Structure 1
Amino acid sequence: MLLKRIKIFTALALVLLVSCKTEKENFVKREYNQELVNELASMVEIDQVAAGIPSGKYKELTEEEWQSFKDSVFAVTHKKAAEIFNKHGFVGFDLAGKEGSRNFWLIVQHLDFNPEFQEAVLKEMKIKVENKNANPENYAYLLDRVQLNTGKKQVYGTQVMYNWKVCQAYPKPLIDSINVNKRRKEIGMEPLEVYLNEMSKMHFEINKETFSKVNITEPKLYKIKD
């Protein structure tokens, strides 16, 4: 009888534990601004179309029509992003979760025509990163973008160009290149050479047909130091 009571008590304790955990998880989810999360997801969906290479129905557009479409998309996302920023500041994990925070950052990342706005967001994002309420790697990408858009050299080497003759990525102007991997490591990023190799591979895959015409069968990669 005692053993039976112990089993029943243990089972009830487990149920309560799971119930409390689930309730806590639901509470965290309820704390997110779901309306904002949904809005950012919708904004990123069209932002990614405009930021990428024309595909699907967009391949039928002329170069002028495609540029007009992109300008229209970024104008709308800029207006919405500015409204969100004025109301909430940088969107941190606590407000919209990691995905929502990433989506807001990604939208701002593509607003190169307004570096002043990017810089204002960057300052607020830095505070969120220091409080572990935003992604430090994403901060690095936006910092590099702002640096270049304001005529300065980038810090982490996230922004690249390509040598089409050999299919190899290389960083845009970079400050203190000798210590770049030290800076990248401090915020959890892989060595620059690893990043550049991944970018070179992606560039090759996207433009494989073009490279095949000039007998380039693979990207040129950097040697990775041990």
Structure 2
Amino acid sequence: MRVLYTFILMVLTGTICLGQSSISKGDSLRREGKLEAAIIAYKEEYKQTKQWKTGYNLACVYALTFQKDSAYQYLNMALKEDNSLWALADSDLYALIDDPRWSAIEESQLKRYQEHHGKLMQPEYARKLLRIIIRDQALDYYIDQAKSYFMKEGTAPQWYYPLGAYKEQIIEENYKTMQQLLEIYGWPKYSMVGELAADAPLLVINHHKDDAVRKEYLTQIKQSCIDQEGSCMEYAKIQDRVLVNDNELQIYGMQFRYNAQRVLEPFPIIDPEYVDQRRAEIGLEPLKEYLKRKIKYDWNVVQLKE
């Protein structure tokens, strides 16, 4: 039951290959869990267009099927056109990070990023934080497949249980690594390591099984949000999760549950007619837009302002 409970939490709290403006055949097949067919589709698309994003998505699917050599082949080609740090935090590439070739990917991408966006004050800290993110999101593709199965069948698939147990192990190990990094470098800031890397502790804390961990860091997380040195989105998720787990009404509408029809809906919200005002105060989009995009839920509570 413990592993099943963890599965439900993974579904409710959510996560972070590369999105494109339109859904291709390869994208659709990947989402359906048909990875070998997705490889064929992406290869055909890449042959025709030579677009680096298609090559990147092909690398992701090769990594998801643990075909590492092919994944590295297309990843190295794609990243020549990408000056972001996204690949260093992309969980679809999790199978690659213990390969000796991954360090070269990290080094070249950090260099490319800094050439285009300015020098990071703590680049080594950023690298280590990005590794935390990719581990935090590890196995999420397969867990999403389990979520789809659960929504259809009402129960987790048998093959999910070892994944759920392994995911818990990764989360606990990641938390210990995070504590060590915080002791050495201090709390990360956007201005020091970049926005993507700085949010690593928030993801680890939000996904930890113990609410005491979230409560311990909540003040720091909130202050980083206020100072614009950390994610207000992740702060809202963590704040609401603490409240929901204490059987209290959430503030921002960031935590979801399955109803009797196995449809996701937000947990009850305090003064729901003012939720958009509270969200706007920390820079979040209206809840109606968020819920429609996140879980395809129609939120129709008329909003007021004090």
Aligned residue number for residue 190 of structure 1: 285
Residue segments in structure 2 that go unaligned for 5+ positions in a row: 1-113, 146-156
Aligned residue number for residue 99 of structure 1: 196
1:141 matches 2:232: no
Q: Is the 8 A contact 1:47 1:107 kept in 2?
A: yes
Aligned letter for 2:266? P
Structure 1 distance, partners of 2:162, 2:255, is 27
| Change over 3 Å in CA distance of 1:88–1:151 after alignment to 2 | farther
Structure 2 distance, partners of 1:224, 1:174, is 11
Aligned residue number for residue 72 of structure 1: 169
Q: Is the 8 A contact 1:85 1:121 kept in 2?
A: no
Aligned residue number for residue 109 of structure 2: none
Aligned residue number for residue 225 of structure 2: 129
| Change over 3 Å in CA distance of 1:173–1:84 after alignment to 2 | farther
Aligned letter for 1:74? I
- Per-residue CA deviation, residues 65-124 of structure 1 (Å, 9 max, x unaligned), is 22221121111111112222334443211231111112332222211x122222222211
Aligned residue number for residue 160 of structure 1: 256
Q: Is the 8 A contact 2:135 2:174 kept in 1?
A: no
Q: Is the 8 A contact 1:93 1:133 kept in 2?
A: yes
Deviation of the 1:144 alpha carbon = 1.2
| Change over 3 Å in CA distance of 1:89–1:175 after alignment to 2 | farther
Residue segments in structure 1 that go unaligned for 5+ positions in a row: 1-24, 202-219
Structure 1 stretches of 4+ with a deviation exceeding 6 A read none
* Greater radius of gyration (CA): 1
Aligned residue number for residue 215 of structure 2: 119
Deviation of the 1:50 alpha carbon = 4.0
Q: Is the 8 A contact 2:237 2:254 kept in 1?
A: yes
Structure 1 distance, partners of 2:286, 2:178, is 32
Aligned residue number for residue 29 of structure 1: 119
Structure 1 distance, partners of 2:189, 2:214, is 16
Q: Is the 8 A contact 2:240 2:254 kept in 1?
A: yes
- Per-residue CA deviation, residues 31-52 of structure 1 (Å, 9 max, x unaligned), is 1x22221112122212212455
Q: 3-state SS of the aligned residue for 2:265?
A: strand
Q: Is the 8 A contact 2:241 2:255 kept in 1?
A: yes
Aligned letter for 1:103? A
1:178 matches 2:273: yes
Structure 1 distance, partners of 2:251, 2:178, is 25
CA RMSD of aligned residues (A): 3.1
Aligned residue number for residue 199 of structure 1: 294
Q: Is the 8 A contact 1:81 1:104 kept in 2?
A: yes
Q: Is the 8 A contact 2:272 2:301 kept in 1?
A: no
Aligned residue number for residue 110 of structure 1: 207
Structure 2 distance, partners of 1:89, 1:116, is 20
| Change over 3 Å in CA distance of 1:89–1:52 after alignment to 2 | farther
Paired residue total? 179
**Percent identity of equivalent pairs:** 23
Q: Is the 8 A contact 1:115 1:150 kept in 2?
A: no
